[in-house]
Structure 1
Amino acid sequence: MSELSYGLHFPNVSDNRPLSAIPLSILDLAPITAGGTAAQSLNNSLDLARHAEAWGYKRFWLAEHHSMPGIASSATSVAIGYVAGGTSTIRVGSGGIMLPNHSPLVIAEQFGTLETLYPGRIDLGLGRAPGSDQLTAQALRRGPGSDGQDFPERLRELREYFHPVSSSSMRVRAIPGEGLNIPIWLLGSSGFSAQLSAALGLPFSFASHFAPDYLLPALDLYRGHFQPSVHLEKPYAMVGVNVIVADTDAEARRLATSQAMQFLNLIRRRPGQLSAPVDSLEEIWTPQEKALVQRQLGFSAIGSPDTVRTRLEEILQETGADELIVAGQIYDHKARLHSYELLAELKNN
């Protein structure tokens, strides 16, 4: 088998393949900009997805975060439906659904409904983190809830709703959902999901766009322990990268200050809306804060097209990624579109 039910291709090339040889996808956090609204944010996400479809991106994923003034995708399944309904061919999915926040049955029904409405276009990426602080997690779960340790059991239950041993053996059924082939990805920033996705023969996506430190060990764990399954015959690893492209290095660095300030606010435990870029951050952060932000955002490619191409091909050599999923928190929507358009041109030329 060279192409399995997940629609993933395995080209017969070395790990050191160029940017043009691998798929590019987008992870969108539906940013609410300073002075903007959630409605504008979600409309911008749909507009970006439509452009991304035309530019040849493979997937458009939205992330689950809660109680975050600068992120509009908290009702992730609803946002996925909005984007899928406004596009035609690009795959749309979750990057990811935080399964400890939800009943597996509810997620099976929601994604079963999405796949029924938009067949062959829905991805279900799953994580085991809360996607929020502990107080918000308690509000979501209405009690102590899960700390993520029961994630494998929740995942097993979710997969059984999609593919029960027999319909008569399931006293509770997911309708829509049952019998549908919805690709499940495991997402993570440590070795836990790497090992679990390897054991189950599932595709794996690493959150190196904000947690790069454990990326290479996690990829080694995943590839070294991978067990072929009915879904995949070989490991398939997608790597998250922050990418901001502009006409010049200086302009890209300036645009990237919005993203840096967003992470700085998280470090200070004061999450807010995405700020307009500034000329310099030196008077805004302390040396210690600067080091923390730069470490978290270390897996980034920021600059002119030539600069970004060089950095991304270094990342491909270092990781052997099968696919890159790109995040770019840019304040101005036109500049965000331009960044993704330049990146698509890099891949296609």
Structure 2
Amino acid sequence: MRIPLSILDLAPINRGETASTSIAASVALAQRAEEHGYERVWYAEHHNMPRIASSATSVLIAHVGAHTTTIRLGAGGVMLPNHSPLTIAEQFGTLDAMYPGRIDLGLGRAPGSDQNTMYALRRNPNSADRFPQDVLELQAYLAGETRVAGVDAIPGKGSRVPLYVLGSSMFGATLAAALGLPYAFASHFAPQLLEPAVAAYRAEFKPSEQLDAPYVIAGLNVVAADTEDAARAELQAVKRNLAIGLFGRGQSLTDEQADQLLAQGAGHHVEGMLTHTAMGSPGQLADQVEGFRKLADADELIVAHQSSSVEGRLRSVELLAQAMA
């Protein structure tokens, strides 16, 4: 049976482009994913990152939802300690009212940015410590079983928008298992603990009202092109963009300068992030993807289609679907 494929869209702002063009590209990407049978598209909350346009995650989901008809849309994820559970219940309850049966809510506990941005978000440095309690409070609002006397999420009450725990460590794995929620591992950029985290989640899972058996979604980078040479060239462009985004301090750098960053140490970090990457033409992808699925012991793969251009990402979406059909 074909493993379900989904997409993680970071709404990248490519060099020379704007947030407006990035958002338009996210609409096109979701439409292409819908055409080719992907399960869902998720958007990740990041802040103060010049090359990522998905900071207002629920707003972006609402916009994409208006331009698609069937594909599931959600957060992958909302960084819950940045928000009150009631606010997120209201936002995603509103989305569910707009697009019934199509909305997912993935939850993470990282800040999604740096210390100064945490301050600007008015986030308490200790807010992550409350993550398990906040997940339960949020879940109760969505179930119509509020834990705060006299307070309901409207919209949201009774919507039971499905929750997913996101993580890249053992903490998220054990929490998802204890709460009986699906677990999504961020192996597309933090691969180190993938196998032990998934093993712990499966071993410790306790059935819940939402889920009766463990369900693992694993992140995979994909660089698909019509030829292997084109895919290799695209992967190098992706590495340059990552190096600039992570180490370029907001500067506009040339390819040569990006290559210097890669050679001076950024390359080791970038290669580590891209450990789990399927790259090549359609005929080369199926075995790589299936090999990763087995390694991750995953029920579903969520793919970050890596490309330096919108056209390249859209083509990658098509080619992977064809390869895995």
Aligned to 1:129: 110
Aligned to 2:230: 251
Q: Which amino acid aligns with 1:199?
A: A
Q: Which residue of 2 aligns with 1:291?
A: 268
Q: CA deviation at 1:266?
A: 4.8
How far apart in 1 are the matches of 2:293 and 2:216?
11
Give the partner amino acid of 2:129.
Q
In the other structure, the counterpart of 2:83 is: 102
1:271 and 1:225 map into 2 onto residues whose CA distance is 43
Aligned alpha-carbon RMSD (Å): 2.1
- SS for the counterpart of 2:70 is coil
Between stretches 304-313 and 148-157, larger displacement belongs to 304-313
Query: Could you give the per-residue CA deviations for residues 77-122 of structure 1, whole angstroms, max 9, x where no partner exists?
Result: 0000001111000000001000010011100000000000100000
- CA deviation vs aligned residue, 1:198-248 (integer Å, no higher than 9, x gap): 011100000000000100010011001000111111100000000010112
Aligned match of 1:235: 214
The answer to whether the 8 A contact 2:140-2:146 is kept is: no
**Letter paired with 2:140:** E
Distance in 1 between residues matched to 2:296 and 2:237, nearest whole Å: 27
> Which residue matches 1:304?
281
Q: Secondary structure, in 3 states, of the residue corresponding to 2:94?
A: helix
State how 1:170-189 maps to structure 2 within 5 Å: 170-189=149-168
Distance 1:77 1:166 in 2: 22
Aligned partner (choices 131, 136, 140) of residue 156 of structure 1: 136
User: What is the one-letter code of the residue matched to 2:202?
Assistant: R
State the one-letter code of the partner of 2:205: F
Q: Name the structure 2 match of 1:3.
A: none
Query: 1:123·1:184 contact (CA, 8 Å) conserved in 2?
Result: yes
- Residue identity opposite 2:44 in structure 1: A
Give the CA deviation at 1:166.
Answer: 6.9
Partner of 1:343: 320
CA drift of 1:162 comes to 1.3
Measured after TM superposition, the shift of residue 280 of structure 1 is 11
Q: Which residue identity does 1:72 align to in structure 2?
A: A
**Which amino acid is the alignment partner of residue 324 of structure 1?**
L
Deviations 1:7-62 (A, max 9, x none): xxxxxxxxxxxxx5210000001111111110110011001101110110000111
Give 1:138's aligned residue: 119
Letter of the aligned partner of 2:249 in structure 1? R
Shift of 1:307: 2.2
Stretch moving more, 103-112 or 314-323:
314-323
Distance in structure 2 (CA, Å) of the matches to 1:86 and 1:145:
38
What one-letter code is carried by the residue in structure 1 that aligns with 2:222?
V
Q: Which amino acid aligns with 1:194?
A: A
SS where residue 213 of structure 2 aligns?
Answer: coil
User: In structure 1, what is the Cα distance between the partners aligned to 2:265 and 2:186?
Assistant: 23
Q: Which amino acid aligns with 1:34?
A: R
Gaps of 5+ in 1: 1-19
- 8 Å contact kept, 2:241–2:308: no
Displaced runs of 4+ in structure 1, greater than 4 A?
278-284
Aligned-pair distance for 1:262? 3.3
Distance change (3 Å), C-alpha of 1:92 and 1:314? same
Contact preservation (8 Å) 1:186, 1:202: yes
Amino acid at match of 1:175: I
For the 8 Å contact 1:108–1:161, the answer to whether it is kept is yes
Contact 2:247 2:261 (C-alpha < 8 Å) held by counterparts: no
Q: Using the alignment, how far apart are the partners of 2:258 and 2:112 within structure 1?
A: 27
- Show structure 2 runs of 5+ residues with no match: none
Q: Secondary structure at the match of 1:21?
A: coil
Cα 1:57/1:176, change in 2 over 3 Å: same
| Distance (whole Å) between structure 2 residues aligned to residue 223 and residue 117 of structure 1 | 34
Offset, 1:137: 1.1
Q: Secondary structure at the match of 2:112?
A: coil
Q: Look up the equivalent residue of 2:61 and give its one-letter code.
A: I
User: Does residue 43 of the first structure (1) align with residue 20 of the second (2)?
Assistant: no
**What's the CA shift for 1:150?**
1.0
Instruction: Determine if the alignment matches structure 1 residue 198 to structure 2 residue 177.
Output: yes
CA contact (8 A) 1:164 1:170 kept: no
Alignment of 1:220-231 (within 5 A): 220-231=199-210
Quick one: which of 323, 345, 348 aligns to 2:300? 323
Residue deviations 1:241-298 (CA, integer Å, cap 9, x gap)? 000101122211211223312332354262568x89x699754422633222111110
Structure 1 residues 179-188 or 155-164, which shifts more?
155-164
Partners of 2:251 and 2:322 lie apart in 1 by 32
Aligned counterparts of 2:60 and 2:273: Cα–Cα separation in 1: 27
TM-score, length basis structure 2: 0.94
Q: In 2, are the aligned partners of 1:65 and 1:73 still within 8 Å (CA)?
A: yes
